[in-house]
Amino acid sequence: MTKVTSNALNRAFLHSSCRINAALEMIAGRWKPLILIHISENQNRFSLLKQAMPGISDQALGKQLKELEADRLVTKEIIPAIPVRVDYSLTEKGAALLPILQALAEWKDL
C-alpha cells in the first residue's frame, strides 16, 4: 500500500500550477549545474568529473548523473573497451540550459 504524502501532493500541485518549479527541480541539487558545465567542457567521464569536483562523493555524483539523464539533460554512452568506458554528453535540452545558468550566475551578482 503506497502512502500519498503531503510532500508528494505539494510537489504535484506546484508542478501543475507553475512550470518554473518543475524546471528548477531539474537543476536543483548542489552539484547539477557544475556537472553540466564540466560536461560541456569535455570533462565527460565519471573519473574526470570526480577530478574536477573533489568534494563530491562517488554516490552523490552517480545519483546526480542518473537524475540528469532521467531529466534528459545528459546522455550516457557506454563504450565497449577494456575497461568499459562511459561518456556523458549534453543533450540539446542540456546545452540550452547553459546560457540560463550563466544568466543566473550574473543575476546573483547584481
Start-end of H helices in the chain: 6-17, 19-27, 32-40, 46-52, 58-70, 92-108
Structural domains in the chain? 29-108 (1.10.10.10)
pTM value is 0.84
Residue 34 grid coordinates: 557544475
Distance (Å, whole) CA 57 – CA 62: 9
Question: Per-residue confidence of the chain (110 residues) as pLDDT tens digits?
Answer: 556 788 888 777 877 777 888 888 889 989 999 999 999 999 999 999 999 999 999 999 999 999 999 999 999 999 898 888 899 999 999 999 999 999 999 998 98
